[in-house]
Amino acid sequence: MAIQFGAVLTGLACAYLILHTTFAGDALAKDASVKIWGFRGPLGAFISAWGGFAMLTSAPFDNWWHDSFGLDVKILSPPHVVLVIGIFFMGFGGLVLIAGRLNLSEGAARVRLNHLLLYVGSLLLSLLMMLGFEYLGDQTLMHSAIFYRVLGMVAPLVLMGVAQASGHKWAATIVAAIYMGMWLAGLWIFPLFPAEAKLGPVFTQVTRMVPLGFPVLLLPGAFALDYLRKRFADRGNFVQAVTAGTGFFAAGIAFNWPWANFLMKPAARTWVFGMGYFGYFMRPSDYHLAWEFSAYEKTRAEFWIGLGIALVATILSARVGMMWGNWLGRVRR
């Protein structure tokens, strides 16, 4: 209900903005707008409105899916993908809306809008991290190449894009810090609320809401990305993408690999680190699997090839992030 309320709220806000610009806006507002199907409004408003519509469409689709195929808790089921796409475009439209105003502003107004851009960027990052949660949320894969491949495909895409659009020296670091702060808040707040399983079979008796777990350590990689993109700012986009992407990749392994060792220890099974929570579907006899690394790649050669693919994916993700970030920096409508 909260997710769909967000879609309704976004749709109403964008509809008001578009209708006001079309029928009551002054000439200046109309000049700084785009025209679609006879209506005028900021480009971001049209993008966000479409995202909100896709979100609302996913609700009956999801009900039909469950009625036809039964209940599931898969993140990437077709109706959930429609929902995620809708949320993504709603958030991306918000970035476009903010950037359009940011690029026309100066002084204190520009500073405030830049802060808002970084915050919305962190929400978009959280969404994509959630999309890859089946790999990024499994601490047993943190010594496997697949973890760093998915991380490299997701995080630099947003971090580099928002950093390019913002122009702030430490934009990626700030976005990563907000993401980690929100994720930690969920880890520490959700278990405060009573809850019990309504699906079966129930193997673990749940009495409190179960959080997602400790966030991925993005701050070191984001810091390296910020430093290197500025350090090589005069070397061209390709060199920036290679150096910043490589820095993010190296820092991600350097910090997450040993951090994974700690998460496997009894000291991490507290409310602070969240390694002692299990869902209702987890058998007590399988608890130990959460504290043991699993080998996604079956051979050493496959592992090193996977890491090579992860590095290339990270660099490409950084380059694509630069492309849409530079475009966002030019938006005026």
* 110 vs 101: CA distance, rounded Å: 8
| First vs last C-alpha separation in the chain | 32
pLDDT along the chain (333 residues), means of 10: 83 86 75 79 85 83 76 69 84 88 87 93 92 90 96 95 92 96 96 88 91 94 94 88 95 96 94 92 91 92 96 96 91 80
* 136 vs 124: CA distance, rounded Å: 16
* Whether the predicted model's global pTM rises above the 0.95 cut: no
| C-alpha count within 13 angstroms, C-beta hemisphere, residue 185 | 7
| C-alpha count within 13 angstroms, C-beta hemisphere, residue 183 | 25
CA 236 → CA 95, 129, 171, 229, 239, distances in Å?
25, 29, 19, 10, 6
* 99 vs 113: CA distance, rounded Å: 8
* 112 vs 186: CA distance, rounded Å: 26
Tens digit of each residue's pLDDT (9 = 90 or more) over 226-259: 999 999 988 888 899 999 999 999 999 999 999 9
Tens digit of each residue's pLDDT (9 = 90 or more) over 135-180: 999 999 999 999 999 999 999 999 999 999 998 999 999 999 999 9
- Position 136 scores a pLDDT of 93
- Position 125 scores a pLDDT of 94
Smallest Cα–Cα separation from 172: which of 150, 185, 147, 155?
155
* 140 vs 80: CA distance, rounded Å: 25
Helix 107-131 to helix 145-166 angle (10° resolution) is 160
* 262 vs 135: CA distance, rounded Å: 18
- Position 317 scores a pLDDT of 96
Instruction: Decide if 247 contacts 229 (C-beta within 8 A).
Output: no
* 86 vs 255: CA distance, rounded Å: 33
